[in-house]
Amino acid sequence: MLSIDHLVLTVSDMQKTVAFYTNILGMALEEFIPPGATKPRLALIFGAQKINLHAVSQPYKPHAKKPVCGSADICFISDKSIDSWIETFKKHSVIIEEGPVQRTGACGPITSLYLRDPDGNLIEIANQN
């Protein structure tokens, strides 16, 4: 069986990305140095997964064939209610592009909100129904 350990986002402004995912979405920031490397890297921790951050100007190797900002589409399942998320996004002036809407997630029906991170990646925040 496979599961996701981490994914990588290519970002244009590390500070804006970190602020969005930590201050608004509530993820934890981790700095780490991979084996054999000399420079620290940044990751966003949520649950048992993480998002590694790669600066578009300095991609780590190996990397995606065409690493570009704003091409990701990610759905996060949350225990926090959709109504609470709506309030959080209003508080931080984050535009909700769509939702709440009904969708089908990996484990069944979900209620979702869609918004964009600082690089334009499509972020879906969902509650399982």
User: CA 97, 102, 103, 108 torsion: positive or negative?
Assistant: positive
Residue 17 backbone zone (phi > 0: left; psi -120 to 50: alpha; other: beta): alpha
Is 124 catalytic? The answer is: yes
**Rounded distance, CA 92 to CA 106, Å?**
29
Catalytic residue of the set 31, 87, 97, 124: 124
Q: How many residues does the chain have?
A: 129
Catalytic residue ranges: 124
